[in-house]
Amino acid sequence: MSKPLAETTVLITGASRGIGAAVAERFASVGMQIVIHYLNAHEAANEVARACLAHGVKVLTVTADLRSREQLERMKEKMEQHGMIPDILVNNAGISHFGMLADVTDEDWDQVMSINLRGMFLCSQLFMSHMVNQKYGRIINVSSIWGISGASCEVVYSTAKGGVNAFTKALAKELAPSGVTVNAVAPGVVETSMNANLNPQEMQALKDEIPAGRFAQPDEIASLVYFIALPESGYITGQVISPNGGWLT
């Protein structure tokens, strides 16, 4: 059974910028309690926290390396001390990798897989028991269009996001009897710093491929995440939803 908005807690990983920051502010705007996770971007996380606090909600910032179970367990303890165990978990943190597969090092592979997959696995495992016990919860994983279609020169990233999609579908079936939904949002290109590797000509060429003729804004992705998290969306689970401006249909 869902809680009143003011008693509902949302944890967003990688919430110091981009999609994560937009998601945090979207949930704060309706009165939910917000936990902002970050790794090193302390000042940026505090800026997001101030934006959320402006909505009059309870906000907590936490830091942890998502690859470390020990650090995540300490993070969970801090959240418990503040009475902020998530009813909604948004696994947003991730990193990309651009380059030919022939040039990918073992370290490149391990880093992309550990942050995009291990972090999602550990957070879901640590926080889903609370949702199962209360027979209500939402796990929303931020994936990518490349996890569906694959991308040349982004084989490692595409593989990791394909894993996110498979994880989502499987865990959804496992948790559905407990009233917990698990879905993924797989955006097309979004106006964030993750696309800093593209020069203006490459960006324009990419926009020309998209029927909508533009990239998505982070708040547009945040609105979809919010919709999936609503109590009214309880029959939507195991889905990979791709807001991509008609690029992939």
Q: What is the pLDDT of residue 32?
A: 97
Cα distance between residue 19 and residue 226, in whole Å: 12
Q: What is the pLDDT of residue 193?
A: 72
Q: Percent helix, strand, coil in the chain (nearest 5)?
A: 50, 15, 35
> Is it the case that residue 195 has pLDDT exceeding 90?
no
Other CB atoms within a 10 A radius of the CB of residue 40 amount to 10
Catalytic residue among 136, 157, 226, 235: 157
> Is it the case that residue 1 has pLDDT exceeding 70?
no
| In 41-163, beta strands by DSSP E | 59-63, 88-91, 137-142
> Is it the case that residue 80 has pLDDT exceeding 80?
yes
Cα distance between residue 35 and residue 40, in whole Å: 16
- pLDDT tens across 89-116, in order? 999 999 888 889 899 899 999 999 999 9
- Catalytic annotation on 38? no
Cα distance between residue 152 and residue 202, in whole Å: 14
- pLDDT tens across 199-245, in order? 888 888 889 999 999 999 999 999 999 999 999 999 999 999 999 99
Q: What is the pLDDT of residue 196?
A: 66
Contact 5, 80 (CB under 8 A): no
Cα distance between residue 240 and residue 238, in whole Å: 7
Q: For the ranges 69-73, 135-139, 150-154, which has the lowest average pLDDT?
A: 150-154
Of all helices (H) and strands (E), which one includes residue 18? helix 18-28
- pLDDT tens across 151-186, in order? 887 899 999 999 999 999 999 999 999 999 999 999
- pLDDT tens across 34-56, in order? 999 999 999 999 999 999 999 99
Report which of residues 33 and 6 the model is more confident about.
33
Q: What is the mean pLDDT of residues 80-94?
A: 97
| Predicted TM-score (pTM) of this structure | 0.94
φ, ψ at 139 (rounded to 5°) = -120, 120
